[in-house]
Amino acid sequence: MLSYRHAFHAGNHADILKHTVLINILESLNLKDKPYTVFDTHAGSGIYSLQDERSKKTGEAELGIIPLLREMNNIDFPESLSNYFKICELYKKHDLYPGSVEFEKIFTGKSCAHIVMELNNSEIDLLNENASRETLVSLSRDHTQVKTQVHHADGLKDILALSPPAIKRGFCLVDPSYEEADEYDKIGNAVININKKWNVAVIALWYPLLAHRIIEIEAMKKNIIACVKSRNDKTEIMDAKFLVNKEDSHTETSLKDNSGPPRLYGSGMLVINMPWKLDEKTKDNLSYIAKKIYKNESTSWSVELY
C-alpha cells in the first residue's frame, strides 16, 4: 500500500522529535572537516505547506510546530534546539514546514553526497521540484548547498544496493509509513542489513507508537538491537520516545468523527552509532518541548542507551 501522505501530518509531534534528532546528528557530522553521505529512504515531497487543506483538516501542526514556535520566541530553549527554531521560524514566514530532505540540504555541503528515495508516484514530482530548489538558508560547514540525487525507488531496497557509499562517513534516515503489520519485520531486517553493509554509518529509524502494533514495534527494536550488538557490542544505540497521549487513549470512532485522541499516541527514534552527546541533547530537547506545549499528564518521554 502507498496511501500515506505526510502533508496531513507535517509539523506534528512526531516531526518535532524526528527533526530535532536529525538536526543534532547533522550538526555532529559538520563538526569535522570531512565530507559525508546522507541517505533518506522515504523522502516524501521534501517541503510542506501549512496552508494545505490536508494540513488544515487534521490540525496537527496547530498542536505541534505552531505553538512550539510561539513559545520559543521567549528564547529560553536549550542550545540544541537553536537551529531547529531558526529554520522553522524562517520557513513558517512562508507558510511552510521543511521535511527531512530540506533539513538535510540545509546542513549538507557540496563536497558531500545526498541521496533521497521515494516510491510513491504522487510524491515524486514534488520531491524532484523541491529537491532542486535552493534552501532559504544554508548551515553547511562550507556555506554551500549539496546537489541532491532523487531516486524514484523503494528506499529499503535501493539503499542496500548503494551501500556502502563511496564516501563511507555518513548518515541514513529510515522513515517509513508502517501501513501494514508485516512491514515491521521488513523494516527491521533492512536496518540490520544497512548496518551490516555500512557499519560506520549513523542510522536513525523513526517508528510510530500505536497501541494495536505494540508487539510488532517492540519485536522490531529488540531484533535490531540484538543483531547490531552481536556484531559489535561497543556500538552505541539510543532509543528516544516522545508520548503526547497514553497508550490506551485512542477509541475507535466512525470515519466522520475526528474527535478524540488519534491512534498515534507518540513516536520514537532508534539511533545506531549514536553521535557524542546526542542522548543529552535529546533529553534537553524533549524536556523543554514537553513542558512548553504538551502540558498534560499523558505526556512523557524517555531516552535509553544500549
Beta strand extents in the chain (DSSP E only): 37-40, 47-49, 96-98, 113-117, 148-151, 170-174, 202-210, 237-243, 264-272, 300-305
**CB neighbourhood size of 52 (10 A):** 17
Rounded CA separation 115/179 (Å)? 24
Q: What share of the chain is helix, strand, coil (3-state, %, to 5)?
A: 45, 20, 40
pLDDT the model gives residue 288: 96
pLDDT tens digits, 211-246: 989 999 999 999 999 999 999 999 999 999 999 988
Fill in the DSSP letter of residue 8: G
Question: Which residues in the chain land under pLDDT 70?
Answer: 1-8, 52-53, 55-59, 248-262
Rounded CA separation 252/229 (Å)? 39
Rounded CA separation 49/65 (Å)? 13
pLDDT the model gives residue 252: 47
Domain ranges of the chain: 6-250+259-264+277-305
302 bridge partner residues: 241
User: Residue 147 corresponds to which cell in the numbers above?
Assistant: 546537489
For residue 204, which amino acid is it? A
The answer to whether 166 touches 184, Cβ cutoff 8 Å, is no
For residue 170, which amino acid is it? G
* Residue 193 burial (10 A CB sphere; 0-12, 13-18, 19+): middle
Rounded CA separation 267/206 (Å)? 7
Model pTM greater than 0.95?
no
* Residue 215 burial (10 A CB sphere; 0-12, 13-18, 19+): exposed
Record: fold of 6-250+259-264+277-305: Rossmann fold (3.40.50)
Beta-carbon contacts of residue 29 (< 8 Å; ≥ 6 apart): 36, 107, 169, 170, 171, 202, 275
